[in-house]
Amino acid sequence: MFGAEFFYFQMYTYFLVATENEIAQLKSVDDVCKHIEKTKPMLGGKLFTLQAMNNLSNIFLQNEKENPVATNWFADGARFYVFDEEFCEKITSAKWDDLLQASVPWSESKSWRNIEYNRMDLAGSIIDVASLCKQTGEGKLLYILLSDED
């Protein structure tokens, strides 16, 4: 994984499965990278915006509530957001075909307008998010760290 200096001037998005105490300890992007390197799959990239993740959440929760929600924790000035447990329950209980099909409405959401993407890549990302959600529970939640909020 690249050092923090590589990502500092670019938009980045990191997904983490952690407890509140673990998140509170992560004060820098380097700390975040070290935490993520312990998990499989490692998920992140430049395409994931807060709006895109909110749109994905709405597909599985079938509502318009804000998810993920802002936390009080920051790393290098970037805010952590947390997905609620209901989202992880829904995405992990979805059938394989439903995970793949979720890429269709997600790709049609306004968060992907004017951005080049591959629908199959989005399907793969949904599968990775579902895999991370399977690691939640017993005090662990799915967090996202965004360097650039939309």
Domain boundaries, the chain: 10-146
Residue linked to tokens 């979720």 = 102
Q: Rounded to an integer, what distance in angstroms lies between the CA atom of residue 124 and that of residue 128? A: 6
**Euclidean distance between CA atoms 68 and 54, whole angstroms:** 6
- List pLDDT tens digits, range 120-149: 889 999 999 999 999 999 999 999 988 765
Whether the link from the prior residue into 41 is cis, omega within 30° of 0, is: yes
Residue with tokens 């924790």: 73
Band the pLDDT of 7: cuts 50, 70, 90: very low
Q: Is the pLDDT of residue 1 over 80?
A: no
pLDDT (average), residues 1-12: 46
Mean pLDDT value across the chain: 85
Measure the CA–CA gap between 59 and 57, rounded to whole angstroms: 5
Give the architecture-level CATH label for domain 10-146.
3-Layer(aba) Sandwich (3.40)
pTM assigned to the model: 0.85
